[in-house]
Structure 1
Amino acid sequence: MEWGFVIAGLVVGFVVGLTGVGGGSLMTPILLWFGINPATAVGTDLLYACITKMGGVAVHHKHKQIDWRITKLLALGSVPASLLTVTLLHYIKMDTQAVNSLIKVMLGFALMLTALAILFKPYILKQISRQMPARPEGYIPTKGTIFTGVVLGVIVTLSSIGAGALGTLAIFALYPLLPTARLVGTEIAHAVPLTLVAGLGHASMGNMDYGLLAQLLMGSLPGIWLGSHMTRHVGEQWLRPALAVMMALIGAKLVM
């Protein structure tokens, strides 16, 4: 039993439950720091994120903090894209390290910009309402949401980073009026099928350490339960800055 893995799971699970981001962006570097093989770290982290976020989905659904219409449209694009990416990884020899490096830098800058957008959300929405025609209540950009799911599916399968961070960015861009707590819940719900498919794909290639996975889950399941419950009780004025700070820190770490 490595208590360091259990504690790491607890901390990351709490952060994910509270803000919806930080799973792969935090856990993969932590596993690398512990000396875990990079390919094994990616595969193990994907299934860790899937099982951990299942616990978060139960809590967020109970408190009506998930928009299932958005979740289904994202999954309609991300799950097939993830399956296709895993298949290509099996048969095509590609420099995944170079691809992942590029993805991390781009994602890092995008996260820092999104952190600013979330922090100044009220001001931005005010400007948008002045300059853009009002959309009907309940408007869903179907094609844009499905296409966003496709992009998420490819990036998450390649690097294990982005299921939460990039998903939050995308949902915020497509649905700026969505309350922060509902944004967090929706992102967590969508990450479950995406990380499950990507994780099983990596497991089929032997990139999995089940003993390590079990130790991470011992900490993360209580952590995400606690974080998800706190999301409901933390006001928008506090949750929004917490989410923004988390995304900015992760973005800066990825760029550096």
Structure 2
Amino acid sequence: MDFDWTMAGGSFLVAIVVGLTGMGGGALMTPMLVTFFGVSPLAAVSSDLVAAAVMKPVGSAVHYRQGTINMRLVGWLCLGSVPAAFSGVLLARAIGHGARVEDVISKAMGVALLIAAAGLVVRGYLAHRARSGADPADGGTPEITIRPVPTVLVGLVGGLVVGITSVGSGSLIIVALLALYPALKANQLVGTDLLQAVPLVFAAALGHLLFGDFRMEVTAALLVGSVPGVYLGSKVSSRAPGGLIRRVLALVLVASALKMFGLGAVPLAWTMVTLASATVAFWLVQRSRSTRAGDGGDAARDASADQLVH
């Protein structure tokens, strides 16, 4: 099969979004392959995971050098996620072959995409928490009490979802980590999640190489587009309106999920218009509240200054 430059271009655009937001690789790449390029769901998952196995170590290496990783958490997560990711491939194959397994994987991918959209909302909350100063002030990893059993279970569920759908390593697990360990700083949550995702994705990729429907030409196109795309997205991420990008990406993920569930074009369009309108209305209300709160804070500071002067 000839090299597909159109697919490489699509992966380049998706990778720019990944570089801008730190999220959305499997959640966007796999649906793109299925929806726009006619790749079967199992082949899309297999090829995307093998490509991700090449890309994942890059981001985790940066966080490792910066010391924003809790290695004990990584160990407990991997205890559950690595075998579960490999088992997810076997589970997908055990379901059957042909249309049946493809339908099951499509539905599972839809659920995972909804989880990814929720993860973007959580990522926005983390960014807001960091800006508001709610994170611990020191740069070291906060002292937390490790909860082994819940942490292993999080890794197990996350690994299983990734093994079946290729979605979840950057969304499902980070949401669960935030719930279990709210004391961790935002960058430490992301760094810990990124490092544990490396062996997770490697295990899933190995399973798909052995038992999945891996296609070298698809993976090659993904890598050719995604490597420069991630680099470019990372370069401009500091100048881009991250909040706006996260909102748009969340809507895209929801639309992709509904498409995987087989929703028709007209109901899908009305659903997305309703969601977009609700998102804009909510954002305007929150912005109004933040503005009033900021004005109140400025007034209080001015009153304190007057008291000091007089």
TM-score grouping bracket, smaller chain normalisation: 0.7 to 0.9
Contact 1:26 1:250 in 2 (8 A): yes
Q: Is 1:52 paired with 2:59?
A: no
Q: What RMSD, in angstroms, separates the aligned Cα atoms of the two structures?
A: 3.3
Structure 2: where are the runs of 5+ without partners?
Answer: 133-141, 260-310
Alpha-carbon distance change, 87 to 36 in structure 1, aligned in 2, over 3 angstroms:
closer
Contact 2:91 2:164 in 1 (8 A): no
Contact 1:119 1:241 in 2 (8 A): no
Find the partner of 1:81 among 84, 89, 97: 84
Aligned length: 244
Shift of 1:241: 6.6
Q: Comparing 182-191 with 37-46, which one deviates more in the overlay?
A: 182-191
- Tell me the equivalent position of 1:140: 146
Shift of 1:150: 0.5
Find the partner of 1:21 among 23, 37, 41: 23
Q: Is 1:187 paired with 2:190?
A: no
- Tell me the equivalent position of 1:131: none
Shift of 1:109: 4.2
Between the aligned partners of 2:239 and 2:69, the Cα distance in structure 1 is 16
TM score, norm. by length of structure 1? 0.77
Between the aligned partners of 2:65 and 2:244, the Cα distance in structure 1 is 24
Higher relative contact order (CA 8 A, sep 6+): 1
- Tell me the equivalent position of 1:158: 164
Find the partner of 1:168 among 174, 186, 195: 174
Deviations 1:179-223 (A, max 9, x none): 333333332222221122112212213511113212321232233
Whichever of the two has the greater Rg, that structure is 2
Contact 1:13 1:227 in 2 (8 A): yes
Between the aligned partners of 1:240 and 1:175, the Cα distance in structure 2 is 24
- Tell me the equivalent position of 2:6: 4
- Tell me the equivalent position of 1:34: 37
How does 1:163-242 map onto structure 2 within 5 Å? 163-205=169-211, 207-227=213-233, 242=245
Alpha-carbon distance change, 35 to 84 in structure 1, aligned in 2, over 3 angstroms:
closer
Shift of 1:152: 1.1
How does 1:118-129 map onto structure 2 within 5 Å? 118-120=123-125
Identity of aligned residues (%): 36
Look up the equivalent residue of 1:176 and give its one-letter code. Answer: P
Q: Comparing 183-192 with 75-84, which one deviates more in the overlay?
A: 183-192
Shift of 1:240: 6.5
Structure 1: where are the runs of 5+ without partners?
Answer: 127-135
Alpha-carbon distance change, 240 to 168 in structure 1, aligned in 2, over 3 angstroms:
farther
TM score, norm. by length of structure 2? 0.65
Look up the equivalent residue of 1:185 and give its one-letter code. Answer: G
- Tell me the equivalent position of 2:105: 100
Shift of 1:149: 0.6
